[in-house]
Amino acid sequence: MQKKRIAFVIYSLSSGGAERVISTLANSLEKEFEIFIITLVKTQPFYPLEKSIRLLYCAENPKERTNPIKSAIDGLNRIRTLSKIIKSNNIRLTISFMTSSNIYSVWASKWCGIPCIISERANHNIDKPPKLLALARDYSYKLCNYLVVQTEGNKMFYHKTLSPSKIIVIPNPLSKSLASKRNLDQVQKEKIILNVGSFKEGKAQDLLIRAFSKLNTDNWRLVFVGDGKNRPKFVDLVNKLMLQDNIQFVGKQQEIHEYYNKSSLFVFTSEHEGFPNALLEALSFGIPSISTNCEHGPSDLIKDGYNGFLIPVGDQPSLEQKMALLMKDTDLQHKFRKNAISSTKRYEVDSIISLWRNYINELI
């Protein structure tokens, strides 16, 4: 029997939380469905994909910054292009991630007469989009069949504009390929404090740098994995504090598991989150972790004092205290490591995929 065709839609397949989740979902569903991934701009996938997955794109290059009228025209053209791709490939269902892609997908799917699931990853209660985009989002989302969010907090945000029956909470799955590279038997770790994430507003890696500078690090190293516009600013801060020998910026890493496997601590300093994929991954590798208790996500993953520590957002003294405690207390590290691994079992990919599968099968 011929497989039914479904398409994931996203801006690009570069590195990032949403891109990793789409790659994981596509790889996990490709034996049951014929999978397409449609990107708004042409990109090479950062995460590995099964050979059977077909990659399509709407445009060769990103659109240029422009005025609202030109932007609206560009948006209509993208909807038209996306509709043509859907029709020509006989797609039966679209699953879209991120605001702009979601808006295009619901209209293109409506035009083609097929169902559409959209997914929001950001905390728009804090990370507010431009006013016109927010208006377009609130109006367009009424056309979707389901909106998937990652936390109950995000669900409450969308209650204001969307029927509660359309909003589903499905947390991110752990990547199966990443999980297969865990070395949970490796007891002896390096003295590495790890942070993984983009250097952008709201991630607040400078808080970690300043806290680290106040501690007796005793041969510990702080390693940042990721890239972004704020990286040069933080490199300058490290130079100013004369910590170049103790703090490394290693950029984006395909083999991120190598850092998870050898690190002794993980510290996450975000001021707000949609859902912290990197924190989930670190916990699944059994890394004793400290996170700000920001909206939303960290409190879903960490039970304070059981499998990690939660600290108030922006609280440097509290961060210094918890880091110093964990760096010295190997018994506490062992407790957090054991409990972190067990607490992330429910995020294993098979459990999360079964939730997605139920809604996909319902609609097609």
The domain ranges of the chain are 5-173+348-363, 177-347
Tell which phi-psi region holds residue 297, choosing left (phi > 0), alpha (psi between -120 and 50) or beta: left
Q: In sequence order, which residues have a C-beta less than 8 Å from that of residue 243 and are 6 or more positions away?
A: 209, 212, 213, 222
Query: What local confidence, expressed as pLDDT, does residue 187 receive?
Result: 63
Per the DSSP assignment, residues forming a β-bridge with 8 are 37, 95
DSSP code of 277? H
The 10 Å Cβ neighbour count of residue 218 is 8
Question: What percentage of residues in the chain have a pLDDT greater than 90?
Answer: 73
Residues of the chain with pLDDT under 50: none
The partner residues of 169 in beta bridges, in order of sequence, read 149
Tell me, yes or no, if the two domains 5-173+348-363 and 177-347 fold the same way: yes
Return d(Cα 96, Cα 93) in angstroms, integer. 10
Q: What's the predicted TM-score (pTM) here?
A: 0.78
- Looking at residue 118, its pLDDT comes to 97
- Give the C-alpha separation, 167 to 163, whole Å: 7
CATH number of 5-173+348-363: 3.40.50.2000
At which residue do the structure tokens 């994981």 appear? 24
pLDDT for 186 = 64
* Residues recorded for the chain: 364
Q: What are phi and psi of 79, to 5 degrees?
A: -60, -40
Select the CATH number that applies to the domain covering 177-347 from these four: 3.40.50.170, 3.20.20.370, 3.90.1280.10, 3.40.50.2000. Answer: 3.40.50.2000
Residue 27, both tokens: 């790889």
Per-residue pLDDT of 140-156, as tens digits, reads 999 999 999 988 888 88
Q: Which residue has the tokens 């969308």?
A: 158
The verdict on whether omega for the bond into residue 334 sits within 30 degrees of 0, i.e. cis, is: no
DSSP string, 196-259: ES--STT--HHHHHHHHHTS--TT-EEEEE---TTHHHHHHHHHHTT-TTTEEEEE--TTTHHH
Task: Give which of 263, 108, 98 is closest to 189, Cα–Cα.
Answer: 263
Q: HSE of 274 in the Cβ direction (CA atoms, 13 Å)?
A: 21
Give every strand in the sheet of 221-225, ordered side by side: 247-251, 221-225, 192-196, 265-268, 289-292, 308-311
- C-alpha span between 193 and 264 (Å, rounded): 6
